[in-house]
Structure 1
Amino acid sequence: MANYFLTGFPGFIANELIIGLLKESDENVLYCLHLPSMKSKALAAAKKLEKEAGMSKKIILLEGDITQKGLGLEDGKKEFLKRNIDFVWHLAAIYDLSVAYETAYRVNVTGTLNMNHFCEELMNLKRYVYFSPAYIAGTRTGTLLETELERPESFHNHYEETKFEAEILVEEVKKRLPVTIIRPGIVKGKSDTGETSKFDGPYFIMNMFRRLSFLPVIPAIGDGESVVNIVPVEYIISASIYLGHLPSGEGKTYHLTDPHPYKVNDIYRSILWEMNRKKPIGRIPLRLASSSLKLAPVRKFLRVEREALDYFAWKGTFDCTATIRDLEPAGIVCTDFLQTVGSMVGFYKANCENPQYHVKVD
Structure 2
Amino acid sequence: MVKRIYFFTGFPGFLATRMIARLAEEEPESEFELLVHESAIPEAERVVQRLRGNKRTKRFRIHAGDITKTNLKLEKAVSEQLKETVTHVFHLAAIYDLAVHDRIAQSVNVTGTRNVNLWVLECKSIERYVYFSTAYVSGDRKGTIYENELALGQDFKNHYEKTKHDAEVLVQYMRDRIPTTIIRPGIVLGDSKTGETAKFDGPYFMMRYLDKFSRMPIPYVGKGEALINLVPVDYIVEATVYLSRHPVGEDKVYHLTDPNPYQAREAFRLIAQALTGKAPSFTMPHSTVRIMLSFPPLRKWVKVEKETLDYFRLEAVYDCTEAQRDLEPAGIKCPDFADYIPAAVEYYRLHRNDPAKLIEVV
Equivalent residues in 2 for 1:55-74, closer than 5 Å: 56-74=57-75
**Cα offset, 1:246, TM superposition:** 1.5
Mean CA deviation greater in 247-256 or 96-105: 247-256
**Whole-Å separation in 2 of the counterparts to 1:249 and 1:279:** 42
**For each residue in 1:195-225, what CA deviation from the matched residue of structure 2 results, as whole angstroms up to 9, or x when unmatched?**
000001110000011122222x111111111
The correspondence for 1:49, drawn from 39, 48, 51, is 51
**Whole-Å separation in 2 of the counterparts to 1:142 and 1:50:** 46
Equivalent residues in 2 for 1:70-219, closer than 5 Å: 70-215=71-216, 217-219=217-219
**Residue aligned with 1:166, SS:** helix
Instruction: For 1:12, give the aligned amino acid.
Output: F
**Whole-Å separation in 2 of the counterparts to 1:122 and 1:150:** 28
CA contact under 8 A between 1:89 and 1:128: conserved in structure 2?
yes
Structure 2 partner of 1:245: 245
Which stretches of structure 1, 4 residues or longer, exceed 4 Å deviation after superposition?
A: none
**Whole-Å separation in 2 of the counterparts to 1:261 and 1:279:** 20
**Residue aligned with 2:199, SS:** coil
CA contact under 8 A between 1:139 and 1:152: conserved in structure 2?
no
**Residue aligned with 1:355, SS:** coil
**Cα offset, 1:147, TM superposition:** 0.5
**Whole-Å separation in 1 of the counterparts to 2:196 and 2:56:** 23
- Number of matched residues? 360
Instruction: For 1:264, give the aligned amino acid.
Output: A
**Residue aligned with 1:289, SS:** helix
**Residue aligned with 1:244, SS:** helix
**For each residue in 1:8-67, what CA deviation from the matched residue of structure 2 results, as whole angstroms up to 9, or x when unmatched?**
000000000011111221001010111011111110011112218x67321110000000
Structure 1 partner of 2:36: 34
**For each residue in 1:270-303, what CA deviation from the matched residue of structure 2 results, as whole angstroms up to 9, or x when unmatched?**
0000111111111111111111111101111111
CA contact under 8 A between 2:256 and 2:323: conserved in structure 1?
yes
Structure 1 partner of 2:299: 299
**Residue aligned with 1:350, SS:** helix
Structure 2 partner of 1:356: 356
**Residue aligned with 1:88, SS:** strand
Equivalent residues in 2 for 1:281-292, closer than 5 Å: 281-292=281-292
Structure 2 partner of 1:310: 310
CA contact under 8 A between 2:33 and 2:61: conserved in structure 1?
yes
TM-score, structure 2 normalization: 0.98
Instruction: For 2:35, give the aligned amino acid.
Output: L
**For each residue in 1:126-159, what CA deviation from the matched residue of structure 2 results, as whole angstroms up to 9, or x when unmatched?**
0000000001111001000001012443111100
**Residue aligned with 2:123, SS:** coil
CA contact under 8 A between 1:109 and 1:162: conserved in structure 2?
yes
Whether 2:21 is the aligned partner of 1:19: answer yes
Instruction: For 1:164, give the aligned amino acid.
Output: H
Residues 55 and 150 from structure 1, CA distance in 2 versus in 1: closer, same or farther, beyond 3 angstroms?
Answer: farther
**Residue aligned with 1:43, SS:** helix
Structure 2 partner of 1:264: 264
Consecutive unaligned residues of structure 1, counting only runs of 5 or more, are none
CA contact under 8 A between 2:146 and 2:319: conserved in structure 1?
yes
Structure 1 partner of 2:233: 233
**Cα offset, 1:322, TM superposition:** 0.6
**Whole-Å separation in 1 of the counterparts to 2:196 and 2:51:** 15
**For each residue in 1:82-120, what CA deviation from the matched residue of structure 2 results, as whole angstroms up to 9, or x when unmatched?**
100000000000000000001000000000000000000
**Whole-Å separation in 2 of the counterparts to 1:297 and 1:273:** 28
**Whole-Å separation in 1 of the counterparts to 2:330 and 2:135:** 22
**Residue aligned with 1:360, SS:** coil
**Whole-Å separation in 2 of the counterparts to 1:36 and 1:288:** 43
Instruction: For 1:116, give the aligned amino acid.
Output: N
Consecutive unaligned residues of structure 2, counting only runs of 5 or more, are none
**Residue aligned with 2:231, SS:** strand
CA contact under 8 A between 2:138 and 2:154: conserved in structure 1?
no
**For each residue in 1:149-198, what CA deviation from the matched residue of structure 2 results, as whole angstroms up to 9, or x when unmatched?**
12443111100000000000000111111111000000110011100000
